[in-house]
């Protein structure tokens, strides 16, 4: 059956301006870090992408190394673009990144101009696209001058391979320098993609102030702390969770009794707000409009539907925020 997008797809989604740019992003974006690779079920991934778009998610976030194997998430997305989403290309914000290991030899990772431009050329081929909307430097390179990395981003925009550029996981000082270099080059920094959640608040220690001062947007990855801020971990570590898999980023040793206690108390507060813990955690990240978009992952359609429902209640009473602070401390 030929896919036709939901006619009411923009009715409920909230869209936020990205910094001082003209670009708006959905308050909830979908990342393809997990569950869209070559080892995963294609039809399940396709169903998640199409349902997300039907619910107003216009932004899909990828990277060259997403899979596994690396590159396969972009290939999977490219197939769905070709079969289903091609007529809606101008309604989509597609982003990808380069910075982590992709191929052997001295040019297969980090932040050199050689690597970044080669990687994006490969990404465009895998997705069957002429350009991406946002291209990120996925991580700072300690051995390459930042001028070279930012110069490559500027060149990519001027070549028409990306409309905007961003950075991910850069420190406060690195972000300041990147903003300055790109401003001088005439290609402003659009967005920063940091990790940010109730359990990981490093961006509040200066980074958010820098982004606000310079009109740069932000999109928070891992807003649910890789699933910790969901009902999944309330009673312990389930056998099918990321923490139970040796290859995952979330390790069983990181899930302490103290964290479980906090998660349970947060879950009780969420219930009083008529939300799931995940919904409250997303609403909390989006509070105060300092975060442009919360970047979710998903393994099934129902998770996307649940997460988007967080937008039904984004407001917090002062006493709720105070209680959250008390729990987290």
- Residue that is written with structure tokens 């709720």 in the block: 320
Residue 244 has pLDDT above 60, yes or no: no
Domains defined along the chain, listed by start: 15-328 (3.20.20.100)
Residue 200 has pLDDT above 50, yes or no: yes
The pLDDT of residue 250: 64
User: What is the rounded average pLDDT of the residues 303-316?
Assistant: 98
Lowest-pLDDT choice from 225-234, 262-271, 317-326: 225-234
Kindly report, residue by residue over 61-91, the tens digit of the pLDDT.
999 999 999 999 999 999 999 999 999 999 9
The pLDDT of residue 256: 85
User: What is the rounded average pLDDT of the residues 296-302?
Assistant: 98
Residue 165 has pLDDT above 50, yes or no: yes
The pLDDT of residue 49: 98
Rounded to an integer, what distance in angstroms lies between the CA atom of residue 222 and that of residue 85? 26
Cα-Cα-Cα-Cα torsion 6, 11, 12, 13, nearest 10 degrees, comes to 80
Strands 59-61 and 93-98: parallel
Residue 247 has pLDDT above 50, yes or no: no
User: What is the rounded average pLDDT of the residues 14-24?
Assistant: 98
Average pLDDT, the chain: 95
The pLDDT of residue 251: 67
Cα 123–Cα 127–Cα 133 angle in degrees, nearest 5: 75
The pLDDT of residue 237: 64
The dihedrals phi and psi of 272, each to the nearest 5 degrees, come to -70, -25
User: What is the rounded average pLDDT of the residues 279-303?
Assistant: 98
Looking at residue 9, what DSSP letter applies? T
Residue 303 has pLDDT above 60, yes or no: yes
CA distances to 93, 259, 325 from 328, rounded to whole Å, are: 34, 9, 5
Rounded to an integer, what distance in angstroms lies between the CA atom of residue 3 and that of residue 189? 35
Per-residue pLDDT band at 243 (split at 50, 70, 90): low
Residue 246 has pLDDT above 60, yes or no: no
User: What is the rounded average pLDDT of the residues 260-285?
Assistant: 97
- Give first-to-last CA distance, the chain, whole Å: 52
The pLDDT of residue 232: 79
Residues 298 and 227 sit within 8 Å (Cβ to Cβ): no
Residues 96 and 59 sit within 8 Å (Cβ to Cβ): no
The pLDDT of residue 231: 87
The pLDDT of residue 255: 81
Comparing CA positions, the residue from 37, 95, 86, 92 lying closest to residue 61 is 95
The pLDDT of residue 235: 64
The pLDDT of residue 207: 98
């Amino acid at each position: 059956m030929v896919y036709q997008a939901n006619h009411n797809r923009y009715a409920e989604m909230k869209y936020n301006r990205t910094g001082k740019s003209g670009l708006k992003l959905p308050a909830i974006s979908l990342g393809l870090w997990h569950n869209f690779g070559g080892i995963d079920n294609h039809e399940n991934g396709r169903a998640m992408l199409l349902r997300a778009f039907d619910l107003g998610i216009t932004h899909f976030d990828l990277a060259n190394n997403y899979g596994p194997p690396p590159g396969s998430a972009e290939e999977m997305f490219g197939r769905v673009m070709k079969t289903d989403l091609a007529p809606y290309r101008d309604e989509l914000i597609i982003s990808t990144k380069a910075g982590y290991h992709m191929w052997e030899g001295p040019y297969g990772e980090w932040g050199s101009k050689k690597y970044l431009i080669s990687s994006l050329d490969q990404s465009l081929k895998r997705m069957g696209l002429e350009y991406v909307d946002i291209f990120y430097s996925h991580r700072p390179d300690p051995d390459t001058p930042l001028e070279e990395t930012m110069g490559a981003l500027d060149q990519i925009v001027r070549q028409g391979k990306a409309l905007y550029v961003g950075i991910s996981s850069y420190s406060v000082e690195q972000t300041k320098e990147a903003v300055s270099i790109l401003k001088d080059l005439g290609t402003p920094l659009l967005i920063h993609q940091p990790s940010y959640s109730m359990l990981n608040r490093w961006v509040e220690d200066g980074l958010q102030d820098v982004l606000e001062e310079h009109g740069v947007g932000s999109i928070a990855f891992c807003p649910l702390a890789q699933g910790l801020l969901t009902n999944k971990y309330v009673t312990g570590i389930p056998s099918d969770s990321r923490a139970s898999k040796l290859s995952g980023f979330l390790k069983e040793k990181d899930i302490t009794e103290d964290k479980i206690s906090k998660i349970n108390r947060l879950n009780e507060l969420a219930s009083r707000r008529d939300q799931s813990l995940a919904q409250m955690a997303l609403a909390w990240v989006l509070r105060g409009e300092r975060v442009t978009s919360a970047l979710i992952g998903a393994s099934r359609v129902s998770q996307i539907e649940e997460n988007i429902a967080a937008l039904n209640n984004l407001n917090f009473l002062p006493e709720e925020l105070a209680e959250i602070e008390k729990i987290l401390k």
